[in-house]
C-alpha cells in the first residue's frame, strides 16, 4: 500500500487521530486543521472587516464552482441546502403526483429519505417499501426494484451507500433502467461524496442530495441538492419552499411582487441566505481533496478497508457483505458484533465506532492508518479471548 505525502500529512491535521482510534467517519469525522483554519479565517474576517458579507457571498459562489468541477456538473445544477433532509424533501415535494401514483423505496432506507416519502402518503401517494433481509447483506440493483415498479411508479428513492451496511447500490443501473420510463430517481449520496469518486452526470439520477458533514468534513448545517436539467422541466412550477432565493427576477430592493419568476435551475431550491461559514470551509476542503486527488482518497480508503477485512479474517471474524470493492463503500465496514458488551469493549479501549442493526460499523477517514486497524483488530481479538460472543 503506497501512501502519498499528502495523505500521511493529513493525519497530523487531525489531532483526534492520535489521541484515540477514531473509526466513525460515517457518523461524523473529527475536525481537521484545513477546515478549522478556514472557519477561523471566516471568524477573523467577520470580526475585523467593516462589511464582510459581500466577500463571503462571493466565496460561496467560488465554492459552488469548485463543487461543480468536483461532481462533474454545471454549477447551475447545484443548490446549497441545510442538509440531506431538506434536499430530499424539496425534491420529493416538487414532483407532480397524480392520484394512484406510487414510489418504491427500500424498507431499510435511511430515515431522512424514508420518512420524507411516508409523509406524502397522506396526500394519496402509495409508498411501496421493498422488504429487506438484513441477515444477508447485499447491495441493491435494478433486479430488486423491478418487481415493485409498475406503470403508476413515479419515483424510486435510494441511498447510493447504505448508512448501516456500507454497501453501494447500483444507482447507475437503476437509473439506466427506470429513468427512461419516466420514473424519477432520487439519490441520497451522503455516505458516498468525499469517500468515493462521484460523477453525477455519469450516475444518471434525476436528483442527488447530500450533507457535507461526512466525507467532506465540514461542520453540520450545509447540504447540496443536484437536479438534472431535464428533470427540472418536469417538476412543479413552484418549489415547496418559495423565498427570495427562488426568484430569478427578484428586484434589487427586494420588493415582493406577484409578477415573480422562479429560477428554471436547481437554484430555485436555495435560500437567499446560505450557511456561509460552512460553504467557505467546504471550498477549502475541496481544494485539499482535489490536491490529493479523489481517486487517491478512494483507493487509500479501499486499501485500508481491505486490510481491515483480511486482518479480521485471520482471527476468524468475517466482515459483512462482499469483498468486491465495486459494491462496497471505500470507508464503511460492518462487523457482526452487537450489544452492550462490545460497545463497552470498544469504549474502554479508546475506539470510536457506531453500532446499528447489522452490527458494529467501523468507518474510515484519510486520517486513519494501518496502526488504527491493528489496534481495532487487537481489541476485537481480546474481546473474543475474554469470552464475548461473536454473534448476538
Ligand X SMILES: Cc1ncc(COP(=O)(O)O)c(C=O)c1O
Residues 4-23 that bind ligand X (CB under 6 A): none
C-alpha to C-alpha distance for 242 and 228, rounded to whole angstroms: 20
Applying CB under 6 A, among 108, 191, 296, 333 the residue interacting with ligand X is 191
Dihedral, 134, 392, 376, 215 alpha carbons, nearest 10:
30
278 or 345: whose CB is closer to ligand X?
278
- Measured in degrees and rounded to the nearest 5, phi and psi for residue 251 equal -75, 150
Quote the least distance from Cβ 111 to ligand X, whole Å.
8
Q: Which helix or strand (DSSP H or E) is residue 356 part of?
A: strand 354-356
23 or 247: whose CB is closer to ligand X?
23
Residues 306-325 that bind ligand X (CB under 6 A): none
Residues 69-98 that bind ligand X (CB under 6 A): 83-85
Q: Please tell me the count of residues contacting ligand X according to CB under 6 A.
A: 11
Applying CB under 6 A, among 11, 64, 110, 274 the residue interacting with ligand X is 110
- Cell digits for 212? 457535507
User: Quick one: which of 286, 372, 361, 282 has its CA closest to 329?
Assistant: 361
Q: Which helix or strand (DSSP H or E) is residue 157 part of?
A: strand 153-159
77 or 191: whose CB is closer to ligand X?
191
- Cell digits for 160? 447510493
Quote the least distance from Cβ 84 to ligand X, whole Å.
4
Is residue 159 near ligand X by the rule CB under 6 A? yes
Binding segment toward ligand X, per CB under 6 A, in 173-181, 185-193, 294-302, 328-336:
185-193
195 or 263: whose CB is closer to ligand X?
195
C-alpha to C-alpha distance for 62 and 95, rounded to whole angstroms: 30
Q: Are 93 and 209 in contact (CB under 8 A)?
A: no
DSSP code for 257: -
Binding segment toward ligand X, per CB under 6 A, in 43-51, 184-192, 198-206, 279-287:
184-192
C-alpha to C-alpha distance for 230 and 220, rounded to whole angstroms: 30
User: Quick one: which of 28, 29, 27 has its CA closest to 17?
Assistant: 29
84 or 368: whose CB is closer to ligand X?
84
112 or 153: whose CB is closer to ligand X?
112
107 or 264: whose CB is closer to ligand X?
107
Chain residues in the site for ligand X (CB under 6 A): 83-85, 110, 112, 159, 163, 188, 190-191, 211
Amino acid at each position: 500500500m503506497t501512501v502519498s505525502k499528502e495523505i500521511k500529512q493529513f493525519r497530523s491535521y487531525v489531532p483526534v487521530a492520535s489521541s484515540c482510534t477514531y473509526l466513525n467517519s460515517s457518523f461524523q469525522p473529527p475536525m481537521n486543521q484545513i477546515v478549522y483554519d478556514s472557519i477561523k479565517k471566516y471568524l477573523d474576517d467577520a470580526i475585523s472587516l467593516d462589511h464582510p458579507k459581500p466577500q463571503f457571498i462571493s466565496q460561496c459562489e467560488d465554492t459552488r464552482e469548485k463543487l461543480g468541477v468536483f461532481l462533474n456538473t454545471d454549477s447551475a445544477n447545484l443548490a446549497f441546502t441545510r442538509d440531506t433532509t431538506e434536499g430530499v424533501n424539496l425534491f420529493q415535494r416538487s414532483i407532480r403526483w397524480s392520484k394512484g401514483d406510487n414510489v418504491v423505496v427500500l424498507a431499510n432506507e435511511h430515515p431522512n429519505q424514508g420518512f420524507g416519502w411516508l409523509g406524502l402518503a397522506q396526500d394519496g401517494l402509495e409508498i411501496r417499501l421493498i422488504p429487506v433481509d438484513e441477515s444477508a447483506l447485499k447491495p441493491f440493483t435494478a433486479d430488486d426494484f423491478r418487481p415493485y415498479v409498475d406503470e403508476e411508479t413515479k419515483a424510486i428513492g435510494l441511498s447510493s451507500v447504505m448508512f448501516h451496511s456500507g454497501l453501494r447500490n447500483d444507482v447507475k443501473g437503476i437509473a439506466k433502467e427506470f429513468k427512461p420510463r419516466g420514473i424519477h430517481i432520487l439519490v441520497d449520496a451522503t455516505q458516498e461524496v468525499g469517500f468515493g469518486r462521484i460523477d453525477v452526470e455519469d450516475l444518471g439520477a434525476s436528483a442527488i442530495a447530500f450533507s457535507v458533514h461526512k466525507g467532506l468534513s465540514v461542520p453540520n448545517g450545509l447540504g447540496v441538492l443536484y437536479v438534472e436539467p431535464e428533470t427540472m422541466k418536469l417538476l412543479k412550477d413552484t418549489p415547496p419552499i418559495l423565498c427570495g432565493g427562488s426568484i430569478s427576477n427578484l428586484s434589487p430592493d427586494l420588493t415582493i411582487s406577484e409578477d415573480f419568476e422562479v429560477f428554471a435551475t436547481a437554484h430555485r431550491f436555495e435560500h437567499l441566505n446560505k450557511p456561509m461559514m460552512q460553504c467557505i470551509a467546504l471550498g477549502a476542503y475541496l481544494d485539499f481533496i482535489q490536491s490529493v486527488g479523489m481517486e487517491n482518497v478512494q483507493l487509500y480508503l479501499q486499501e485500508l478497508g481491505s486490510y481491515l477485512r483480511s486482518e479480521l479474517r485471520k482471527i476468524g471474524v468475517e466482515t459483512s457483505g462482499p469483498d468486491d470493492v465495486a459494491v462496497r463503500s471505500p470507508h464503511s465496514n460492518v462487523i457482526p458484533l452487537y450489544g452492550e458488551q462490545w460497545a463497552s469493549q470498544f469504549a474502554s479501549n479508546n475506539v470510536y465506532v457506531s453500532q446499528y442493526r447489522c452490527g458494529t460499523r467501523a468507518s474510515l477517514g484519510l486520517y486513519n492508518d494501518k496502526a488504527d486497524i491493528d489496534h481495532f483488530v487487537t481489541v476485537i481479538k481480546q474481546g473474543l479471548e475474554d469470552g464475548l460472543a461473536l454473534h448476538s
